[in-house]
Amino acid sequence: MINDIQNSLIKKESIFGPDNYKPLPVVLSKAKGVWAWDVNEKKYLDMMSGYSAVSHGHAHPELLRVFHEQSSKLSLTSRAFYTDTLGPYLETITKMSGFEMCLPMNSGAEAVETAIKSSRRWAYRTKKVEPGKAEIIVADGNFHGRTTTIISFSTDENSRDDFGPHTPGFLAVKYGCSESIEAAINENTAAVLIEPIQGEAGIVVPPAEYLPEVREICTKHNVLMILDEIQSGLGRTGKLFAYQHSNIQPDGLILGKALGGGFMPVSCFLSSEEVLHWMNPGSHGSTFGGNPLAAAIAKRSLELLEEDGLIENSKLMGDYFKESLLNMNSKIIKEIRGKGLWLGVEIDPDLISGKDLSKMCLDHGILCKETHETTIRFAPPLVITKEELDWGLDKIKEVFTKITG
Q: Which of 288, 281, 180, 269 is nearest to 230 (CA)?
A: 269
The CA-to-CA distance between both ends of the chain, in Å, stands at 23
Task: List, in order, residues 6 or more apart from 356 with CB less than 8 Å away.
Answer: none
The answer to whether the beta carbons of residues 267 and 115 sit under 8 Å apart is: no
Contact 323, 351 (CB under 8 A): no
Q: Quick count: other Cβ atoms within 10 Å of Cβ 114?
A: 25
Q: In 15-142, which ranges are E strands?
A: 28-32, 35-38, 43-46, 101-105, 135-139
Q: Active-site positions?
A: 143, 228, 257
**Distance (Å, rounded) from C-alpha 285 to C-alpha 209?**
37
What is the Cα–Cα distance from 174 to 201, expressed in whole angstroms?
Answer: 13
Diameter of the chain measured on Cα atoms? 64
| CA-closest candidate to residue 291, choices 89, 53, 65, 110 | 89
- Nearest CA to 344 out of 213, 210, 214, 197 is that of 197
d(CA 287, CA 108): 15
Backbone angles phi, psi at 404, to 5 degrees: -95, -15
